[in-house]
Amino acid sequence: MTGISAMSRFFSSKFKGLEPYTPGEQPKDTSYVKLNTNESPFPPLKAVTDAAASCRPLNLYSDPTCSDLIAKLAEVYKISPDRIIPSNGSDETLYFAFLAFCDSGHPAVFPDITYGFYPVFAQITNTPYTEIPLKEDMTIDINDYIGINKNIFIANPNAPTGICLTTGEIEQIVKSNPSNVVVIDEAYVDFGGESALPLVEKYDNLLVVRTFSKSRSLAGARLGFSFGSPGLINDLNTIRFSTNPYNINSMTLAAGIASLENEDYTIENCNTIIKNREYTTDKLRSLGFEILPSCANFIFAKHAGLDGGWLYAELKRRGVLVRHFTKERICQYNRITIGSMDQMNVLISELEDILKER
Ligand code: PMP
């Protein structure tokens, strides 16, 4: 974390042991080939940035009901508006879900290797949590979650592995835990995963969380959206209106609507990323990398002859930023965002050089 120094004497003791989430590096130096935070390499359409620039005057507050954006989401995803809640990035809904549904009597459960924010949200909301180990091959064993009777948080595709579960598997988990909320975090679903959205009308305990950050090229705009039963959405709105009713700014609302009016662009970009992912996976495998099967816009890769932390640093020295995690089970891997073909070719040629020099 940047700039965190010793806590002041005023910091509430309830946060004493809190370990904040560490976001990926966002260097000001734009010369890096930036493959570390799963952003889109493609800029938003001009129609999207134009819409943001000419939105509701900024001397007025943004629309707290977000009704235009919700109407557009309802149309695109074919679901009724009372089952939708937008958010300031999907991180916010994940936090709100912990606030709304978890406490000492309602513990949470998630895999040991998954999105690093879940344990942080559990800690800040004082929620007891269990981390269930992924299987040896880094897949989720759904049997671990059947009838577990805890609130469940699953990223599907999982991060940083990229591995996905089928909708049928998600349904078994949701169905077997009717007294608990199951949150399916679909940040990366547009790159080849199966969405649990069709289950939302069938199960009142399912929340499906999505984002504009990855497939829609709007990470910097901070916009997420979630689908659930009207009851769950209502609960999340209670939290929203009790914290920050203007949580989505006017520029972002306008950008989101414009993005949804241009679905072809999103679909085309996702297809390009999938193609670049398959190309990169093949090339890296031929260089001796072991790569988990990814349905996301990143791959998780390790090489028997290269230490994961060393490789991260060496790539950075050569101007390519990837993401390395120090957690023991995955410290030999690096997570590599799939970018443009040019970016992928730079990565591949640097890896070829590194391997030649070793
Ligand atoms: N879920 C997962 C699995 C993620 O990797 C991310 C991105 N860091 C998010 C949610 C949050 O994305 P955002 O807040 O940008 O929507």
pLDDT at residue 20 is higher than 70: yes
> Average pLDDT, stretch 8-17?
92
Mean local confidence (pLDDT), 89-108: 98
Over range 52-80, report the average pLDDT. 97
Check if the beta carbon of residue 41 is closer than 8 Å to that of residue 297. Answer: no
Identify the residue with better confidence: 7 or 313.
313
What integer is the mean pLDDT of 38-43?
98
pTM of the complete model? 0.97
| Mutation choice for ligand 1 from 88, 117, 325, CB with most ligand atoms inside 8 A | 117
Ligand 1 atom nearest to CA at 159: 3
Bridge partner residues of 333 (DSSP): none
Is the minimum distance from the CB of 115 to ligand 1 under 6 angstroms?
yes
pLDDT at 218: 98
Query: Residue 6 — very low, low, confident or very high, per pLDDT cuts 50/70/90?
Result: confident
Mean pLDDT of 12-31: 91
- pLDDT the model gives residue 56: 84
pLDDT band at 29; cut points 50, 70, 90? confident
Q: What is the pLDDT of residues 316-344, one digit of tens each?
A: 999 999 999 999 999 999 999 999 999 99
What is residue 249's DSSP assignment? -
275-280: average pLDDT: 98
Classify the C-alpha dihedral 188-69-237-251 as positive or negative. Answer: positive
- Ligand 1 geometric centre to CA of 232 (Å): 20
Q: Which atom of ligand 1 is nearest to the CA of 222?
A: 15
For the cut 70, the answer to whether the pLDDT of residue 2 exceeds it is no
Atom of ligand 1 nearest to the CA of 92: 14
CB 156 near ligand 1, within 6 Å: no
pLDDT at residue 73 is higher than 80: yes
Is 338's C-beta closer than 6 angstroms to any atom of ligand 1?
A: no
Average pLDDT, the chain: 97
pLDDT of 58 higher than 60: yes
Q: What percent of the chain has pLDDT over 90?
A: 96
Residues 35 and 322 sit within 8 Å (Cβ to Cβ): yes
CA distance 142 to 165: 9
What whole-number distance in Å separates Cα of residue 42 and Cα of residue 209? 23
Is any atom of ligand 1 closer than 6 Å to the C-beta of 247? no
Q: How far is Cα 113 from Cα 153, in angstroms, rounded to an integer?
A: 12
The CA 87 to ligand 1 mean position distance, Å, reads 12
The Cα 171–Cα 203 span in angstroms is 9
Probe target for ligand 1 pocket from 183, 211, 215, with the most ligand atoms within 8 Å of CB: 211
* Paired residues of 306 in beta bridges: 303
User: Around Cβ 293, how many Cβ atoms within 10 Å?
Assistant: 15
pLDDT at 251: 98
Q: Is the CB of 235 under 6 A from ligand 1?
A: no
- Of 132 and 25, the one with more pLDDT: 132
Which protein residue's CA is at the shortest distance from atom 7 of ligand 1? 187
User: How far apart, in whole angstroms, are the C-alpha atoms of residue 132 and residue 135?
Assistant: 9
pLDDT bucket at 3, cuts 50 / 70 / 90: low
In short, whether 187's Cβ falls inside 6 Å of ligand 1 is yes
Number of H helices, E strands in the chain: 10, 12
pLDDT recorded at residue 181: 98
Of the residues 210, 213, 247, 337, which should be mutated to test ligand 1's pocket, given the most ligand atoms within 8 Å of the CB?
213
Q: Report how far residue 334's alpha carbon sits from residue 355's, in angstroms, rounded to the nearest whole number.
A: 16
